[in-house]
């Protein structure tokens, strides 16, 4: 496998490191190799429900040991984006602790009264009352931000409507499109690079989805690796007008590159 020099790593979580609460082959070894080599790295996820501390505990339960600071969620990226745009601003947030904690810790005030932004994230139970309030606030002048564009999320019973689907409902009611911060927006990758003080020329992205991980990695100027342990099969790759730099069976194939 011919690769340009890789100093830093970004990797997706679901479908790359874990699947339904179980570590995928090579994932604990890959993370251990990164830590032993003192390589800067971040684990990226579009899931805005959980805090980094929650996700650290979930990964630890599968045998993958990472520090809290090595996890970068769409909620954290959204909070950073808002702080860069309007420092110490205000927001009406629809979401779980992952989003509200990120906004609070970046210095934002959470309010239902004339906020700078309406911020839509993921939640297990979308409230029609909260969505109605969001619509009225956006019509009243609040700017519309969403953590990620995923339209469905998994559950044991099947797909659930996720941020992108609820955002579409709010757009239909307001005529206003949200700005999505999470993947495939390369903004999330750039904020991740800034977080670990990495340069795109010497950073690689590992993902399991062509339409989010790989395309955003390409647009952010990263070297890209597609693993086949998630939602994309080898035959799917040919359907896209862009290609990853490398396609491998699993993250186990990348341990020696660290």
Of the candidates 34, 15, 65, the residue with the CA atom closest to the CA atom of residue 204: 34
- What lies within 8 Å, CB to CB, of 47 at 6+ separation is 13, 14, 55, 73, 74, 98, 122, 153
List helix spans (H) across 149-195: 163-174, 186-195
Residue 184: cis peptide before it, omega within 30 degrees of 0: yes
Per DSSP, the three-state class of 127 is: coil
Task: Give yes or no: 88 in active site.
Answer: no
Q: Give yes or no for a contact between 119 and 147, defined as CB atoms under 8 angstroms apart.
A: yes
Nearest-angstrom CA–CA distance, 101 and 51: 7
Q: How far is CA 69 from CA 52, 54, 63, 230, in A?
A: 7, 12, 17, 24
Structure tokens at 224: 């890209």
197 annotated active-site: no
Question: How does strand 117-120 pair with strand 143-146?
Answer: parallel
Q: And the tokens for 103? A: 């906004």
Among 12, 54, 150, 208, which one carries the catalytic annotation? 12
Rg (CA), the chain: 18
Active site residues: 12, 14
């Amino acid at each position: 496998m011919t690769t340009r020099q890789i100093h830093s790593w970004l990797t997706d979580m679901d479908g790359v490191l874990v699947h339904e609460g179980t570590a995928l082959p090579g994932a604990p070894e890959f993370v251990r190799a990164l830590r032993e080599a003192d390589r800067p790295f971040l684990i990226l996820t579009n899931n805005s429900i959980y805090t980094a501390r929650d996700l650290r505990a979930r990964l630890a339960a599968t045998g993958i040991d990472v520090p809290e600071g090595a996890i970068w969620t769409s909620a954290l990226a959204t909070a950073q984006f808002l702080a860069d745009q309007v420092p110490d601003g205000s927001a009406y947030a629809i979401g779980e602790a992952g989003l509200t904690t990120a906004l609070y810790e970046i210095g934002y005030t959470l309010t239902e009264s004339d906020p700078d932004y309406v911020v839509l994230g993921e939640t297990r139970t979308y409230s029609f009352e909260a969505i109605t309030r969001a619509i009225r606030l956006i019509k009243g002048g609040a700017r519309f931000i969403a953590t990620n564009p995923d339209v469905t999320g998994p559950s044991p019973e099947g797909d659930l409507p996720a941020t992108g689907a609820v955002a579409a409902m709010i757009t239909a009611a307001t005529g206003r499109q949200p700005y999505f911060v999470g993947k495939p927006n390369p903004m999330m990758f750039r904020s991740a690079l800034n977080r670990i003080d990495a340069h795109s020329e010497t950073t690689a992205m590992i993902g399991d989805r062509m339409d989010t991980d790989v395309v955003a990695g390409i647009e952010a100027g990263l070297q890209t690796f597609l693993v086949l342990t998630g939602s994309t099969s080898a035959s799917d790759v040919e359907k896209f007008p862009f290609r990853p730099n490398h396609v491998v069976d699993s993250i186990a194939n990348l341990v020696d590159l660290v």
